[in-house]
Amino acid sequence: MTLNRLLLRAASASKIGSRSAFTAAKPDHTNPNWLRVGLAFGTSAFLWGLLFKQHSTDVHEYKVRNGLE
């Protein structure tokens, strides 16, 4: 059996014998999962806070190293 034929047979068998877990149920957009929404926004706010804190620390360190403060 040639490699091309073997790959074609494996690809067709994997499509027939498996089902994607990600398309098992369609999301309900009228009733969002508020826990996940809250976690997403909370994580985003937390990461932005860390970014601003790190930026302030870096600016302060830059000013001290260059004698600007």
Q: Is residue 58 part of a domain?
A: yes
CA distance linking residue 46 with residue 2, whole number of Å = 55
Q: Is residue 1 part of a domain?
A: no
At residue 17, the pLDDT reads 56
- Give the global pTM: 0.57
Q: Is residue 52 part of a domain?
A: yes
Q: What is the pLDDT of residues 1-59, one digit of tens each?
A: 577 776 677 666 555 556 666 667 787 889 999 999 999 999 999 999 999 999 999 99
DSSP state of 31: S
Per the structure, the count of domains in the chain is 1
Q: Is residue 61 part of a domain?
A: yes
Q: Is residue 10 part of a domain?
A: no
Q: Is residue 31 part of a domain?
A: no
Range of the domain at 63: 44-68
Q: Is residue 62 part of a domain?
A: yes
At residue 26, the pLDDT reads 80
Q: How many CA atoms lie within 13 A of 36 on its CB side?
A: 4
